[in-house]
Amino acid sequence: MEIGFHTDAFNSSYWNFDQCLEWAHQRGIRFIECGTIDGVSWIHGLGYQPHIALWEDPLQMRLKMDRLGIRFSQLDAAFPLSRPEGATLGVEYILRTLRWAHVAGCPRLDTTDDRFLPRGMTERECMEQMRKIYRHVVGYAELYKIVINIEPHGYFTTKPEFMEEMLAFVDSPYLGMNMDTGNTFIAGQDPVQFLKRFRSRVDHVHIKDVSPSLAASARGELTGIAVSHCAIGEGVNAENIRRAVDLLASSGYDGVLSLECEGQGGPMIDRSLAWVRGLLAAGKGGATA
């Protein structure tokens, strides 16, 4: 296993992607995950957003990252596919990100659904829409040899019975799951049991803790959180993370543990990085950090 991080840690710091690369380089982190912007955003254009836009040149980005010894672990193309717009905007967003990822050397994409059941649509209508979407985009994923992961983050994906059905939409090694310890917990699930059920399909992992105050006020009400708002290892989800990493190690997972934690300009995610490195060094999987 390797440690990486999602650049959304530095949203509130208004960093750009190059600053995130430098932060990773200084700490010996070899994998980075970020969101993709399909178009022009003023805040990104001014250098205040830590994600990449699809108008940026993917080969130049790949060469820049190669010089630092850093690779993409995953690109985040998580437009909520259960919404009506998922069939139009969501599909094109995924396909454009796939093409960019292919040139940039990124092996996987992250996708998900919305927190709410869309007004005017039934559960079955949403599931059938997503079935059509995944069958369509996975065909391109097989062409580009890039895995499309489904992340538990919304109304459907945080419910095991729906996630199981979604992972069976297409019989393909290019459809997998991005496990998220924080989203499954805040949605009211047991992250370890959720991971046990889908371990064979896990292709990428988000590590998130949950603060005691957030758990007390929102567990079972939310279906996902963007980042940990406490350092990883300092919240009520820490023991679940320990057990999840142990389970991943014992079952042979050799992928990336991507930290999703509020960076506060560095201190909080630095504490998170130290805690996860200590967890791995203690023998949970013999991983590298």
Give me the pLDDT at residue 158, please: 98
Question: Which of the 8 DSSP states describes residue 182?
Answer: H
Residues of the chain with pLDDT below 70 are 284-289
pLDDT digits (tens, 9 = 90+) for 55-100: 999 999 999 999 999 999 999 999 999 999 999 999 999 999 999 9
How far, in whole angstroms, is CA 129 from its chain's centroid?
22
Q: What share of the chain is helix, strand, coil (3-state, %, to 5)?
A: 45, 20, 35
How many of the other CB atoms lie within 10 Å of CB of 274? 15
CA distance 173 to 221: 33
- Name the architecture of domain 2-281: Alpha-Beta Barrel (3.20)
Give me the pLDDT at residue 286, please: 44
**Residue-range domain boundaries for the chain:** 2-281
Give me the pLDDT at residue 285, please: 44
CA distances from 146 to 38, 63, 89, 149, 175 (A): 19, 19, 20, 10, 9
Helix extents (H) in 105-237: 123-144, 160-167, 181-186, 191-198, 212-218
Give SS3 for 123. Answer: helix
